[in-house]
Amino acid sequence: MHLSQITPSIFASLGLASASDELSIGESPMGRELLFLIDGFGLDILDKYGDFMPTIVKLKRYGVVQTSFPTTTATSLATLTTGELPGVHGMLGYTVQVPRSGGRILNALKWDERVDPEKWQPVPTLFERASAQGIQVSHVAAKRYEKTGFTRAVFRGARYLGANVTDALVSQTKAALAATPSFVYLYVNDLDNAGHNDGVGSEKWLSALSAIDNALSQLMREVPKGTRIWVTSDHGMINVEKKIIIGQENHLMDGVAVIAGEPRARHIYLVSSEISARKEVASLWEEYLGQDAQVLTREDAITQDLFGKSVSEDAKERMGDVIAIAQAGLVLIDPARVDKESAMIGHHGANSQIESQVPLLTTTLN
């Protein structure tokens, strides 16, 4: 199953006529559906760290979910909420170059007021479609995300309920599920933050995992009976093993104008727009990195369906001239961001199994 199939199936279970039940989940038991997304919760965590999440491991394992490339929050959440792949919704990574901007970079999670979110991501969300049909759709997450361009781009159509602590998250979710039919998207990113800062398996990361498990336990005690709960994620995470700084003691900056993406999945924009230049730079990167990275030209990425079978003209313009996907434990550091990127222990974005497979878990409250 694929990440793009989850919300269409849940909304179909609530009676959304324009959505299809691609995961065969059936009719909603009581018209109340809760999708709890734990940022950075990869499939491998279930078997490795079960002792720290006794509530989560008791949930039914509905299936293994494949995410889109790159395995990063901006791309995955757009895929989740639109039911489309990145080539269609156009959210191609954590950062990408804005076409015809003189090299300006759009950070999808921080946004840029000069970019219209609804034009950048034009696909109607499942939230919009469901709300228009009378399904109450709510988005529960930290208050700081409410007004962001990213929220407007990929979560529009939902009533935003901001909450910064567990009790408030549970309270907002409980209130939102009082009506029927209702859908709540609940998001937490504590695990992802801990992984980036201290690494997967670290004391801080394990503490975050336990706290999230406790939050789920509290939700299960307090939300209305008959609510069907789904737990999934946007990506997994690996700990860094090897670092290469682009252009430091290597020729990887030759012909490069702008570096975007993130350390595990780089969009590289070149000085020259010629196809021959893309091939030349890709060849240079392949020769230097060898088995440590998969290197594609823009044309290769499109031919190989890296962002899906359909690729809009906007998406073509946004993707790097060259795309470098780190393998094993490598990260490719932007020379302009060495301090910040080198300090991170946990990373994601590439196409490894750990980064690209997440669980889909479920239970219905009796």
Tokens 């359909």 appear where? 310
Show Cβ contacts of residue 303 under 8 Å, excluding neighbours closer than 6 positions. none
Predicted pLDDT of residue 3:
98
Predicted pLDDT of residue 36:
98
Predicted pLDDT of residue 228:
98
Helices (H), the chain: 6-13, 44-48, 73-82, 86-89, 117-120, 126-132, 149-154, 166-176, 190-198, 203-222, 275-289, 298-303, 313-318, 338-343, 353-356
Backbone CA torsion sign across 294, 297, 299, 302: positive
Predicted pLDDT of residue 70:
98
Two tokens, residue 353: 């199994």
- How many degrees, rounded to 5, is the angle at CA 235 between CA 307 and CA 303? 15
Q: What is the dihedral of CA 332, 335, 340, 344, to 10 degrees?
A: 20
- How many degrees, rounded to 5, is the angle at CA 44 between CA 86 and CA 340? 65
Q: Hey, what domains does the chain have and what are their CATH numbers?
A: 3-84+123-238+351-364 (3.40.720.10), 242-343 (3.30.1360.180)
Predicted pLDDT of residue 93:
97
CA-wise closest residue to 71 among 249, 329, 261: 261
Two tokens, residue 152: 């407007």
What gap in Å lies between CA 277 and CA 297, rounded to an integer?
A: 10
Q: Give 10-residue mean pLDDT values along the chain (366 residues).
A: 98 96 97 98 96 97 98 98 98 97 94 95 98 97 95 97 95 96 98 98 98 98 97 98 96 97 98 94 97 97 97 97 97 96 97 98 96
Show Cβ contacts of residue 256 under 8 Å, excluding neighbours closer than 6 positions. 246, 247, 268, 269, 270, 271, 281
Q: Which residues are bridge partners to 65 per DSSP?
A: 358
What gap in Å lies between CA 159 and CA 176, rounded to an integer?
A: 9
Tokens 């009581």 appear where? 30
Two tokens, residue 13: 């279970």
Predicted pLDDT of residue 123:
98
Show Cβ contacts of residue 174 under 8 Å, excluding neighbours closer than 6 positions. 219, 222, 223, 224
Predicted pLDDT of residue 166:
94
C-alpha radius of gyration, the chain, whole number = 20
What gap in Å lies between CA 366 and CA 362, rounded to an integer?
A: 13
Tokens 């503490």 appear where? 207
Predicted pLDDT of residue 347:
98
